[in-house]
Structure 1
Amino acid sequence: MALLTAPDDRPVATRPPLGRVDVVTVLSVFVFVLTVVPARFVVGPLGAAGTPAGIMAVLCLFWYLSSMIAGRTSPVQGRQPVRTVMVLFVCAMLGSYAAAMQRTLPGLEGNAADRGLILTAGWAGIALLAADGVERLDRLEAVRRRLVAGGGAIAVVGCLQFFTGFDLAGHLAFPGLTTSTNYTSLLSRDEFNRPMATATHPIEFGVVMAMLLPLALHGAVYAGEGRRGRRWFLVAIILLVLPMTVSRSAVLGLAVVCLVVLPIWPVVWRVTAVLVLGVFMVALRALVPGLIGTLTGLVSDIGSDSSTVTRTNDYVVIGESVAHRPWFGQGFGTYLPQTYRILDNQYLLSLVETGLVGVLVLLTVILSGWFLARSARRALLARGDRETAHLAQCYAASMAVALLSFGTFDAFSFPMVATLMFLTLGCCGALWRLSRED
């Protein structure tokens, strides 16, 4: 029997009381807030750092740290590479903040530097809480299910926005929250509506869908009786809305998912998946004429289109900034588009803001998720647990999507995709830890 479906056979005296709020319950609420509450809504005085999901992530860090006061409640038990990685990340961000304070900062840049520290605290909190707080593999499976459910919900909103132009998320209102920026309810490209649901941009929405697609696939291929229809619907709606974002990043993310997940499937599954993708493209071409051609053009024109030329010019423009502050940059969050320019490459933006140290640490953060998931897969296969090993590969695919997409847009400027990456990292750490426990 796979560990994901194993019952809780601990003695009754050692099980958590029914009324206790455990980490998975908190993470489930967090997933709901992250996906359903539009990221443009903030607590006014806190600005862009005051999104409900961001505030909750910081509270998760406080909860995690306060639980370490007593050994009985401390989540720090045994090895956990995510702890080391997050310490390195936080230190790099603090070093960048110290470097920023060495120069005279304009008011906007000073506020942005402070906001960067708040974002860093939230990302660290959600990654550490997931990595150390999930107690069992079946509870980690609950986190996966709720992530996919949240993604399916906003995928439905995105489909509605694409076909009708009606922005359901734009008509939502939350007491006590204000809109952080001038909100554009609908973007378009080549006469196609570009949905973004509750995200802040179609590119962000498309990458989020690509990161959630492998997790949805896992739930569908290992669904029990009576659940297959619902879980395959989630896969279908996520796969359907992904190309509707008319985003190169989303299409490349889909390709990454196929390259990482399909090779581990049995031959019959792979052949079926290729045939289904072929039928899906034909059906999409008939349903939305011109969309497949537009997406094909986006990918085939890489290197010659105006977007790529602009990105290439960025290397020349920022050379002087990097040369003056090569190690810790000018300060995380301080390279403001309204003051300087938009850098559609998170690695390039991190090089300017956090220097060489920050870029190396960022790569370490993302790659650690990949290697932890792959290591967990090997350990689970050695134990004969193919279902959970498949889940590990799907988490690795999500981290691979993040690794690629961070090079195609400034991901840290978009709260949903950045937070999802750190949550996925925490889940990879939890899976690595649990795969080695007896």
Structure 2
Amino acid sequence: MSERHHGSIPVSAVDHIGIVHKLPWDAARLVIVYVVLLYAVPSNVTISSMGALGRPHFLWGLAMFAFWAVSRLQWRSVDVVSTWQPVRVAFVVFFVIALVSFAEAMLRGQPGDQVSQLITSMLRLLSWAGVLLVIIDGVRTMRDVSRIIRVVAIGAALLALLALLQSFTGQSYVDFWGSIPGLATGDGGIAERAGRIRPAATATHPLEFGTILNAALPLCVAGALSQGFGRGRARSSVAWWWGASALLTVVALMSVSRSSIIGLAVAVVLIVPAMPRRTRLLVVLGGFAVIAVMVALTPGLVGTTLSLFTSTDGSTLSRTGALERLPGFVSASPLIGIGFGTFLPRYYVFDNGWAGLAIELGILGVVAFAGLIGAAVWSAWQARRRSESPLVGLTGHAVAASVITAAVVLAFFDGLAFPMSGGFLFVMMGLCAAIRSVSMVETRAVGVAIASDAFEESTEVRRQSRRVARSLPAKRAAS
């Protein structure tokens, strides 16, 4: 099916409209650049003169929002057949609540550092909006969806490889960014727990990096099951994708993190139903083989990992104590919160993204964000159920599993406060909406074909009826 075909089939939202038509960039390329900046440039690297606003992927997200706004202003009904997207509706609701909370916080008055953080957080939300809306309105073909997912999954595998090197050598390998003129580096990088290195690749924190590994695992498994999402040589492509899946699993197990291991378990449980029965058995056997190799190469890893779940350390006590203190913080503004991004670490550290949302955006904000997650998962599952294409169904299952995994891990750290995990989640939610658009295109195409066949058949029946009617007077006269 051609991407540039005019008519009743939806095409790229930026493909035929005004000045945007003259640009060599389509929506998929914009998203791919965002993912590359998100992965390749360390999260703690910023442009010196811009402070927290100077992260490259953040600026590119704002540019994408401007690109989306210009394309929508030039939108014509002949360009795109509109598709109702619950993800768009849920995000608008969430964004409106954030705006109301922002206005209320500014009217109430804030300390200077909280005002700066509040404005920065709202701009970060606007950057995420640019990514999400460009994917929703610009990515309308399975080819573009597959291109983006391949970059997301391959990039995560490369980060895992970098983390593996960091774990064995104790070197960061990304410190050179700080020596580039005009750039500055902040806190972050590799850490240590129980005498073991916790790699972070280019993320700010090992927990943030673990979220990327776990959420990308279903995508790599889907790539293996579909031979690179329908693009690749059978044996070499399948081997590469299974190798990437194994690498993500190994690095997640070596993270010395309860959150990462729980997220890995959630990702595995969610993606296993998408596998053929014979493949499930092979994957289980392969998983035990990987664990055996890890135990042999890293003595003491099993004991250290088990101790994370059996011992009561400071991190565990902090999380359980935080839940007891949560109602007191929420009571300050239970409905709309105190403002997105204004609950600074000097007040308390919850290590729980959902608890942070409850304080900053209130009960309405938590419900709206949960609705956004639910809308994304529902959209992907609708595509899986509706489509006759195995590739669309498998991809829908994988992106839904990725979003659910990221949402679960949010309960163990403040994921929206970290640049890489927050940007990754919004990319995946956008892909959930995009895969729904793909399935609706397919459904409409089938419906148009059926209607066309029925029309042609009825037209032929009418023609035959007319021929019979014309021949009757002649037969009567002859008789």
Q: Give the structure-1-normalised TM-score.
A: 0.91
Distance in 1 separating the partners of 2:80 and 2:127: 17
Where do 5+ consecutive residues of structure 1 fail to align?
1-6
* Aligned residue among 121, 130, 154 for 1:125: 130
Matched with 2:473 is none
* Aligned residue among 228, 234, 245 for 2:238: 228
Matched with 1:278 is 288
Distance in 2 separating the partners of 1:368 and 1:305: 37
Matched with 1:252 is 262
Matched with 1:366 is 373
* 1:45-90 per-position Cα deviation (integer Å, ceiling 9, x unaligned): 4332321111111111111111111223977822122210111121
Matched with 1:35 is 39
Tell whether 2:329 aligns with 1:329: no
* Structure 2 letter corresponding to 1:219: G
Distance in 2 separating the partners of 1:146 and 1:433: 20
CA spacing shift, 1:93–1:282, aligned 2, 3 Å: same
Tell whether 2:351 aligns with 1:349: no
TM-superposed deviation, 1:401? 0.7
Asked if the contact 1:248–1:299 (Cα under 8 Å) also holds between the matched residues in 2, the reply is yes
Asked if the contact 1:170–1:185 (Cα under 8 Å) also holds between the matched residues in 2, the reply is no
TM-superposed deviation, 1:184? 4.6
**3-state SS of 2:197 partner:** strand
Distance in 2 separating the partners of 1:18 and 1:59: 17
**3-state SS of 1:327 partner:** coil
TM-superposed deviation, 1:177? 2.2
Map of 1:33-432 to 2, 5 A cutoff? Answer: 33-72=37-76, 77-173=82-178, 174-179=180-185, 181=186, 183-223=187-227, 224-225=233-234, 226-301=236-311, 304-337=312-345, 339-380=346-387, 383=388, 385-432=389-436
Matched with 2:469 is none
Asked if the contact 2:225–2:275 (Cα under 8 Å) also holds between the matched residues in 1, the reply is no
TM-superposed deviation, 1:406? 0.8
CA spacing shift, 1:433–1:11, aligned 2, 3 Å: closer
Q: Compare relative contact order (CA 8 Å, sep 6+) and give the higher one, 1 or 2.
A: 1
Asked if the contact 2:188–2:203 (Cα under 8 Å) also holds between the matched residues in 1, the reply is no
* 1:178-233 per-position Cα deviation (integer Å, ceiling 9, x unaligned): 22x3x254311111111001000011101111011111111112213242333233
Asked if the contact 1:167–1:186 (Cα under 8 Å) also holds between the matched residues in 2, the reply is yes
TM-superposed deviation, 1:265? 2.0
Distance in 2 separating the partners of 1:321 and 1:314: 10
TM-superposed deviation, 1:168? 0.6
TM-superposed deviation, 1:10? 6.1
Asked if the contact 1:76–1:132 (Cα under 8 Å) also holds between the matched residues in 2, the reply is no
Where do 5+ consecutive residues of structure 2 fail to align?
16-20, 228-232, 446-479
Tell me which moved more, 183-192 or 284-293. 183-192
TM-superposed deviation, 1:20? 2.6
* Structure 1 letter corresponding to 2:183: L
**3-state SS of 1:188 partner:** strand
Asked if the contact 1:36–1:198 (Cα under 8 Å) also holds between the matched residues in 2, the reply is yes
Distance in 1 separating the partners of 2:331 and 2:49: 35
**3-state SS of 2:192 partner:** strand
* 1:362-389 per-position Cα deviation (integer Å, ceiling 9, x unaligned): 1112222211111111012xx2x22221
* Structure 1 letter corresponding to 2:382: S
Asked if the contact 1:58–1:122 (Cα under 8 Å) also holds between the matched residues in 2, the reply is yes
* Structure 2 letter corresponding to 1:109: Q
TM-superposed deviation, 1:358? 1.0
CA spacing shift, 1:101–1:175, aligned 2, 3 Å: same
Distance in 2 separating the partners of 1:9 and 1:372: 22
**3-state SS of 1:227 partner:** helix
CA spacing shift, 1:227–1:42, aligned 2, 3 Å: same
Asked if the contact 1:82–1:128 (Cα under 8 Å) also holds between the matched residues in 2, the reply is no
Superposition RMSD in Å: 2.2
**3-state SS of 1:252 partner:** helix
Distance in 1 separating the partners of 2:366 and 2:42: 29
CA spacing shift, 1:100–1:289, aligned 2, 3 Å: same
CA spacing shift, 1:163–1:322, aligned 2, 3 Å: same
* Structure 2 letter corresponding to 1:158: A
Which entry has the higher C-alpha Rg, 1 or 2? 2
**3-state SS of 1:430 partner:** helix
Asked if the contact 1:367–1:399 (Cα under 8 Å) also holds between the matched residues in 2, the reply is no
Q: Give the structure-2-normalised TM-score.
A: 0.84
Distance in 1 separating the partners of 2:325 and 2:203: 29
* Structure 1 letter corresponding to 2:110: L
**3-state SS of 2:331 partner:** helix
Asked if the contact 1:37–1:198 (Cα under 8 Å) also holds between the matched residues in 2, the reply is yes
TM-superposed deviation, 1:268? 0.8
**3-state SS of 2:108 partner:** coil
Aligned length: 424
**3-state SS of 1:67 partner:** helix
* Structure 1 letter corresponding to 2:225: V
* 1:126-146 per-position Cα deviation (integer Å, ceiling 9, x unaligned): 111112211310111000111
* Structure 1 letter corresponding to 2:432: C
**3-state SS of 1:178 partner:** strand
